[in-house]
A and B are shown apart, each in its own frame.
Chain A
């Protein structure tokens, strides 16, 4: 999955699940859109669906500091990389 595809998917999730239209890539989601801890949990479930694999408890905890769409994309890219490395081993 390319960075562009991830961005597109995340924006779709934000529109569909959180009624947030076209958020800025570096907008603070909490301050700008009142995106809260409940939303974050829902987002992790959506990310698991997107990846087709479960996130570990540790990976979920790491996501709690995320504030922007760009950071979400970074996070997903990192998870994809970890999965890929594990598969190659």
Chain B
């Protein structure tokens, strides 16, 4: 049994705004969300990259103690976007708790803030009493599936739980596996997404691999620079994104607002090096995506590239896009605005594509001033285009050699 899957709600907290209005305004005005890296009194002083995609505005939460007690910062982000998506979708309460709604939600490694506090106690504690400062709930706050289960608890959602933790493909997998759960009749609806909190450890990891941007430390808004000659690496960021997926007939019957149809998903792995971008693996992903969606490359209007602004990653991705999609679709790199929001990037970039689809524009890749000739074979966008988007692909690739593509189509 194969069923159609539609998106009926979305919400994101990003370095360039919270919710559709702010995010759309920022995309249209070319606003950057990259800020100076905050000091963490631990490792930040050893990190060469001094920039971070920062949510520097207050997010107001209204969570009861019963829910707050098992939530670290990453779960706050996740539960907030989940709450907004549930409100926007308007699903009846009896459906939400019926078991027909599931959750696919993840983060790259739970809550590093809480983990850091635990390690601090662990290394500094001198006796049993000081070890006991580690609370009974600290594991629940910090574990890798903390986002999914806190959402489940807060809203009484009793369907299946999928908690992908595949670094940069975490939330694109969440949406993809949520799509498959609905498509094959395992659930009527899935609340899908990803979140990551402010974390300097992730910056240190990429910094040690020489993958982080360092050349624009004094001008954060000028980096990252996907596909640009002066690009010098990625910028780690925080944020969250969530979408509601529903079976088409179910959504239609209840009169839901349909934002777009999710027409395809593919995921594969490179089966080799865990870090280096892999042209063969990525090319295969794009082919699989088209096949899964049942469309040809010529039907694609827009590609949201993973494009982290690393030297080799952007070239390999441009080659794969060129080989599979040709020079027809517009290609944009949304990380140029917000940095790399890690587990959230697939969901946030899908949501941004939904906003463009709904409003009929294509946001350019900012900081793309001088296109690297090795990336020039695809159709870059350097200024805002008032252009309808009917079909879009969202590409994400992760450490570990995991590749995903999501394909969405304007509805109807």
- Give the one of B69, B70, B137, B140 with max A CB within 10 A: B69
| Choice from A18, A19, A42, A54 contacting B135 with Cβ under 8 Å | A42
A41-B136 in contact (CB<8A): yes
A34-B135 in contact (CB<8A): no
- State A39–B66 Cα separation when bound (angstroms): 9
Cβ of A1 under 8 Å from chain B = no
Shortest distance from the beta carbon of B127 to any chain A beta carbon, whole Å: 12
From A44, which residue of chain B is reached at the shortest CB distance? Answer: B136
- State A54–B70 Cα separation when bound (angstroms): 25
| Choice from B66, B128, B137 contacting A42 with Cβ under 8 Å | B137
B132-A38 in contact (CB<8A): no
B65-A38 in contact (CB<8A): no
- State A18–B132 Cα separation when bound (angstroms): 18
| In the complex, chain A residues whose CB is within 8 Å of the CB of B135 | 42, 45
- Give the one of A38, A41, A48 with max B CB within 10 A: A38
- State A54–B131 Cα separation when bound (angstroms): 13
Shortest distance from the beta carbon of A28 to any chain B beta carbon, whole Å: 15
| In the complex, chain A residues whose CB is within 8 Å of the CB of B137 | 38, 42
| Choice from A18, A34, A42, A48 contacting B136 with Cβ under 8 Å | A42
A45-B132 in contact (CB<8A): yes
- State A34–B128 Cα separation when bound (angstroms): 30
Interface residues on A, range: 10 to 19
A18-B65 in contact (CB<8A): yes
- State A20–B69 Cα separation when bound (angstroms): 13
Cβ of A36 under 8 Å from chain B = yes
- Chain A stretch 1-37: residues in CB contact (< 8 A) with chain B: 18-19, 34, 36
Shortest distance from the beta carbon of B132 to any chain A beta carbon, whole Å: 6
A36-B66 in contact (CB<8A): yes
| In the complex, chain A residues whose CB is within 8 Å of the CB of B140 | 38
- State A48–B129 Cα separation when bound (angstroms): 10
| Choice from B65, B70, B128, B132 contacting A19 with Cβ under 8 Å | B65
- State A52–B137 Cα separation when bound (angstroms): 22
- State A19–B132 Cα separation when bound (angstroms): 21
| In the complex, chain A residues whose CB is within 8 Å of the CB of B70 | 38
Shortest distance from the beta carbon of A75 to any chain B beta carbon, whole Å: 18
- Chain B stretch 122-177: residues in CB contact (< 8 A) with chain A: 128, 132, 135-137, 140
- Chain B stretch 11-63: residues in CB contact (< 8 A) with chain A: none
| In the complex, chain B residues whose CB is within 8 Å of the CB of A19 | 65
Shortest distance from the beta carbon of B128 to any chain A beta carbon, whole Å: 8
- Chain B stretch 356-386: residues in CB contact (< 8 A) with chain A: none
| In the complex, chain B residues whose CB is within 8 Å of the CB of A42 | 135-137
From A43, which residue of chain B is reached at the shortest CB distance? Answer: B136
Shortest distance from the beta carbon of B241 to any chain A beta carbon, whole Å: 28
Query: Which 8 pairs across A and B sit closest by C-beta, in order of nearness?
Result: A41-B136, A19-B65, A34-B66, A42-B136, A38-B137, A38-B136, A45-B132, A42-B135
Extra contacts, 13 of them, besides A19-B65, A38-B69, A42-B136 (Cβ < 8 A), are A34-B66, A36-B66, A38-B70, A38-B136, A38-B140, A39-B69, A41-B136, A42-B137, A45-B132, A45-B135, A45-B136, A48-B132, A54-B128
Which residues of B approach A to under 8 Å, CB–CB?
A: 65-66, 69-70, 128, 132, 135-137, 140
Can you spell out 9 A-B residue pairs with CB atoms less than 8 angstroms apart? A38-B69, A38-B70, A38-B137, A38-B140, A39-B69, A42-B137, A45-B136, A48-B132, A54-B128
